[in-house]
Amino acid sequence: MPASRARGLLYALAGAAIGAVAARAAYAGFTRNRQADLSSRWTRKNHRGEPLTLLEGPAFVAGSGAAAALAPGLPGRVRAAALLAGAGSGALGAYDDLYGTTDSKGFKGHLSALARGEVTSGAVKILGIGATGLLSAALVSKGPVDTLVNGATIAGAANLANLFDLRPGRAIKVALLTGGPLLAASVLRGSPAAAALAAVPLGAAAALLPDDLGERAMLGDAGANSLGALLGLAAVTRLGRPGRYAVLGTVVALTAAAEKISFTKVIAGNPVLDRIDMLGRRPADPV
């Protein structure tokens, strides 16, 4: 194995391991008193109407943040961009988790409310994550055009990941299915820094997947936004310009589609997607 591939594999394993251990430790600390957790403001009802904690989200932010800070092989500017993208989008997502309402939904709903002079928590999150995406992109981009494209991709990926966080494990599965090939390509092509960066969120997310699938916890906006932003950052730092444009186009298209169609209905209507979606989950309640 070439030295660059071996180093990339080592850095990827280290980043994933640090993220996984830190995320599990944070989750254990946050949920030490399970009964108190399920009566706190971090509690929500899932699609079955059962209580679960949103503290999985802060645990992911903490775990991925620790990995971004400690993982070997990340240049200083990339490390700073990862901390900014992950923690910034996570904090804005937590704000929406705690103070958000359902009066306005989706990009269209929040921006329409903003046009009427009504500042919703969702609008704050959209604008804030957009700014965070641009700032983190500026640390790893060359020139204003690249910064705009990369920033839009990071912010768009943060929002898109949240759109999948509607069923147990779904957002994490989507992250693993999309981030896994990016990680593998980074290792195989001898890009140690890119491999480490992609491994950071994947390790933290994978470590929290059992509790997500077990319907004891969910990422919420905090975790899903942070997960998507970090994967978006990993993509823009690894891909060339055509690849980055393709990713941005896909993110925009899926986000626009979510305004009109239900991802849950599309997934349930496709046997392959439905099987992946149900893998590891409790069976659906009988009708």
- The reported pLDDT for the residue numbered 45 is 81
The model carries a pTM of 0.90
Q: Which residues contact 233 (CB under 8 A, 6 or more apart)?
A: 81, 82, 85, 136, 137, 140, 154, 197
Enter the tokens of residue 179.
């981030």
Contact 230, 171 (CB under 8 A): no
Tell me whether residue 276 is in a domain. Answer: no
| Domain contains 31 | yes
180 found inside a domain: yes
Q: Which residues pair with 148 in a beta bridge?
A: none
Residue 64, domain member (yes or no): yes
For the chain, give the percent of residues with pLDDT over 90. 67
Within-domain flag for 271? no
- The stretch 6-21 carries a mean pLDDT of 93
| Residue 191 domain flag | yes
Residue ranges of alpha helices (H) inside the chain are: 3-30, 34-37, 56-70, 76-99, 106-115, 121-138, 143-163, 170-188, 192-213, 220-238, 241-258, 263-268, 271-278
Residue 286 in domain:
no
The larger pLDDT score, comparing residue 107 to residue 272, is at 272
Is the residue at 283 inside a domain? no
Whether the per-residue pLDDT at 96 is higher than 80: the answer is yes
Q: How far apart (Å, rounded) are the C-alpha atoms in residues 227 and 241? A: 22
Angstrom distances, CA of residue 99 to CA of 41, 92, 235, 237: 10, 11, 31, 33
Per-residue confidence band for 4, with pLDDT thresholds at 50, 70 and 90: confident
Which pLDDT value is given to residue 283? Answer: 78
Instruction: Give the model confidence (pLDDT) of 145-202 as tens digits.
Output: 999 999 999 999 999 999 999 899 999 999 999 999 999 999 988 888 999 999 999 9
User: Count of domains in the chain?
Assistant: 1
Residue-range definition of the domain harbouring residue 152: 3-262
